[in-house]
Structure formats: C-alpha cells, structure tokens
Amino acid sequence: MATAGHDRPAAGESGSLVTACGRRIAVRGLRLPPAGRPIRRIALDVGRDQGDEPGVWAALTADEARDLARLLLTQAALAERGTEPGAPVRPGTQV
C-alpha cells in the first residue's frame, strides 16, 4: 500500500484519512432507496477528535461534492504557496 504524508493511505485507497489533529474524515457513496427513484449522495463524515468531541457529517450532491473539492484544492494551493486567502493572485499564477 502506498502512503502519503504521515503514513496515511493515499487518497482513494481507504476512503478516509486521519488529520494531524486526529480526526478521521471518511468519504463514501450513500444511496437512499425511496419508492420510485433512488437518491445518491456523497457522505462526508468527520469523526470524533482526540478529546472525544463529537464529529459531524454531511450528505452532498455530486455537484456540491465537486464544488467542495474545488474549494479545498484552491485553499491547498494557497497554503502551499503561503498566500493569504483573499489576497490578490499575481497575473499568470494558477490557483
């Protein structure tokens, strides 16, 4: 099994990761079988922290999951460059 970062499974290998502060974030497909037409969502489950504080979860549509992915990737790029959120981006720089 390949690892990334702090001996964590690479994205997509396990469907979850553990953050540096100890929370497990799991991403799974969710299917609700109502009469007529099934409802499909992407479930994002942020587990308890190291102090045993309860976590949260959200069920996202495919479009919402894509929008969240874009926001996360944008913030990751800014963090890697040390750029503050909301700061102007230099022309020609990809975010």
The residues with which 30 forms a beta bridge, in sequence order, are 41
Nearest alpha carbon to residue 27 among 19, 15, 9: 15
pLDDT digits (tens, 9 = 90+) for 68-80: 999 999 999 999 9
pTM confidence score: 0.66
**pLDDT tens, residue by residue, 42-72:** 999 999 878 888 889 999 999 999 999 999 9
CB 32 within 8 A of CB 38: yes
At residue 20, φ and ψ (nearest 5 deg) are: -60, -25
